[in-house]
Structure 1
Amino acid sequence: MQLYNTLSAKERAALIEEAGKDRLTISFYKYAHIGNPQILRNYLYLGWDALEVLGRIYIAREGVNAQLSVPAENFEAFKNFLDSVSFLENVRLNIAIEQDNMSFLKLKVKVRHKIVADGLKDDSFDVTDKGIHVGAARFNELIEDPDTVLVDMRNHYESEIGHFKNAVTPDVDTFRDSLDLIEEQLKEHKEDKNLVMYCTGGIRCEKASAYYKHKGFKKVYQLEGGIIEYTRQVRQENLENKFLGKNFVFDHRRGERISEDVISNCHQCGKPCDTHVNCANEACHLLFIQCDDCAKKMDDCCSDACKEVHSLPLEEQKKLRRGKEVSNKIFKKGRSEVLKFKK
């Protein structure tokens, strides 16, 4: 019985192109109390593999977090399969604003300690005791209230290319960093201010809402479905869009355009740009913002040193990488010293 992916990304891409089927990129999450994540993991893998689902799915005792794609013709079967799992019945599915058949090229279903890496060692709060969910219309009303503090619960490289007007955008590398920072900044307003949070699809601010309720905040709200669902509702209901720029996404696309505003700059030349790329030097792979001109000039690399390595024959590059750990610069997400115009 096959319970893991056996095809390379290149082989899968060729099959997708050959099939010629439109695929839907979807994300969803659900906090729940799961007794045996491994059993659920195997059940989901077998069911989804049969439906040609591709993506990255994490399962833990606290719930499920999924980013995936599925052939459009299999969507109803996929939805029916989800509904067969009691706690996933009628789970909200965030369908991507912009579609790309190559958004995911492998099916990876992994058991993790948590579905959101939060670094918390506090197990005394219930992640299912969440704040108040609000849709786009109510969200727009709330963030105009002078008694509201609007907080972006994403990391700096995400908010750098797009965020809501007047949002607090913590300059942090991890979700865990933002939890303490926001609590410290708002500790005098646990009773009187509306704490309104948003993130990409809702999963991080839902955990944050439970955490802040546990910490004594009285008026805790979150944007239901995150930026993805907000954008869908704004367009469907003809509401005012208060989001500026791009929404960073964690797949091959790296971003969805929500408004025409370009609020960030190329990390190499400084011109307006909001296109994230990974350094073409596989030993670096740094995520940063690069314009087309710099991409051409730098051969898709983040530095002259990486450009020099990337120009070597592939076998020479492999020899240089052999026996070395992957550079941790990738986790700096644009903070590398080689970038002159980083945030």
Structure 2
Amino acid sequence: MQLYNKLSAEERRQLIREAGKQRLTISFYQYAFIIDPQLFRNYLFVDFNALDVLGRIYVAHEGINAQFSIPADRFKELKKFLDGIDFLENVRLNIAREHDDESFLKLKVKVRHKIVADGLEDDSFDVTNKGVHVDAARFNELIDDPDTVLVDMRNHYESEIGHFQNAWTPDVDTFRESLPIIEEEIKDHKKDKKLVMYCTGGIRCEKASAYYKHRGFEDVYQLEGGIIEYHRQVTEQGLENKFRGKNFVFDARLSEKISDEIISNCHQCGEPCDTHTNCDNEGCHLLFIQCENCRKAFKNTCSTHCLEVIQLSAEEQKQLRAGKPAKNKKFKKGRSSKLEFKKQ
């Protein structure tokens, strides 16, 4: 029985192209108590692999978080499989609005301590005691209310390229960092303001809404399905789109266009731009915003240093990386002294 991926990304890419089938990019999450995450992980891998699912799925005692792609013609099989799991029956599946058959190239199902790292060690904190879920129409009404505090629960590199009008976008690198910062900023409004939150697909907001209720906030709301579902609803229902720019996504696409506005800048020259990329220097791999002119000038690297490095032989590059931790700037996305335009 196969329990782990055996093909490289390039081998899988070739198989996708040879198959010639449209693939759907999907995400979902569910908070639920899973007694044996490792056993559940193995069960998922076997069935997802059989369905030709590719992506990242995290399993923990607190639930499941999944981002993946699947051949469009196998969607009904996927739905039937998920509906056969008690706590995943009728789970909301967020289907990407922009199409890319190669959004994922491997299947990775991993057991984690938590499906969303929050830094909290509070046994009395019940993640299922969540805030009120609202649809796009109600969300638009709430964020127009002067008694609402609208908070973006995502990280700085996500909100930089797109966010809702009048939203507070904390300058944070991680979700765990944002929780105490937000609480401190709005602690005087636990009873007199509506706390309204949003994120990419809803998973961070769901945990945050339960946490802030636990901390004494009385009127807590979250955008159901996040920005992904909001985009679908405003498009299909003809609602006013109050989101500006792009929605950052965690697959090869890196973003989906929600409006035509460009609200960010190239991190190298400062020109309007909202296209993320990863530096081609394997010893850097920094995530940053780069316009087409800078991409050509720097050959998809973030600096003159990295440009020089990628022109060395593979062996010389390997020697430069020797002995250095392979963190790939994990929590320094868009933050580096090498980026000329980006505020450090």
Pairwise same-fold verdict (TM > 0.5): yes
Structure 1 counterpart SS, 2:13: helix
* CA distance in 1: counterparts of 2:21 and 2:266, whole angstroms: 35
Shift of 1:331: 2.1
Counterpart amino acid of 1:267? H
Aligned to 2:270: 270
Question: Is 298-307 or 219-228 further displaced after alignment?
Answer: 298-307
* CA distance in 1: counterparts of 2:160 and 2:48, whole angstroms: 34
Aligned to 1:67: 67
Aligned to 1:340: 340
Structure 2 counterpart SS, 1:38: helix
Shift of 1:322: 2.9
* CA distance in 2: counterparts of 1:328 and 1:120, whole angstroms: 25
Which ranges of structure 1 fall in alignment gaps of 5 or more residues?
A: none
1:113-192 matched pairs, under 5 angstroms: 113-192=113-192
* CA distance in 1: counterparts of 2:86 and 2:228, whole angstroms: 25
Maintained 8 Å contact 1:54/1:69: yes
Which ranges of structure 2 fall in alignment gaps of 5 or more residues?
A: none
* CA distance in 1: counterparts of 2:154 and 2:15, whole angstroms: 34
Aligned to 2:296: 296
1:1-343 matched pairs, under 5 angstroms: 1-327=1-327, 329-343=329-343
Would the alpha carbon gap of residues 328 and 108 (structure 1) be closer, same or farther in structure 2, given more than 3 Å must change? closer
Maintained 8 Å contact 1:209/1:221: yes
TM-score (norm 1): 0.99
* CA distance in 2: counterparts of 1:86 and 1:166, whole angstroms: 39
Maintained 8 Å contact 1:285/1:330: no
Counterpart amino acid of 2:119? G
Maintained 8 Å contact 2:286/2:333: yes
Maintained 8 Å contact 1:286/1:331: no
* CA distance in 2: counterparts of 1:185 and 1:307, whole angstroms: 41
* CA distance in 2: counterparts of 1:130 and 1:240, whole angstroms: 27
* CA distance in 2: counterparts of 1:312 and 1:80, whole angstroms: 51
* CA distance in 1: counterparts of 2:323 and 2:338, whole angstroms: 24
* CA distance in 1: counterparts of 2:54 and 2:282, whole angstroms: 23
Counterpart amino acid of 1:175? F
Deviations 1:137-188 (A, max 9, x none): 0000000000000000000000000000000000001101111111111111
Deviations 1:295-329 (A, max 9, x none): 11011111111111101122322232233212553
Shift of 1:119: 1.1
* CA distance in 1: counterparts of 2:68 and 2:185, whole angstroms: 36
Maintained 8 Å contact 2:53/2:69: yes
Counterpart amino acid of 1:224? E
* CA distance in 2: counterparts of 1:161 and 1:4, whole angstroms: 35
Maintained 8 Å contact 1:284/1:330: no
TM-score (norm 2): 0.98
Aligned residues: 343
Maintained 8 Å contact 2:174/2:331: no
Shift of 1:241: 0.2
Shift of 1:206: 0.3
* CA distance in 2: counterparts of 1:326 and 1:4, whole angstroms: 22
Structure 1 counterpart SS, 2:144: coil
Maintained 8 Å contact 1:283/1:327: no
Maintained 8 Å contact 1:94/1:229: yes
Counterpart amino acid of 2:82? L
Structure 2 counterpart SS, 1:55: strand
* CA distance in 1: counterparts of 2:71 and 2:33, whole angstroms: 30
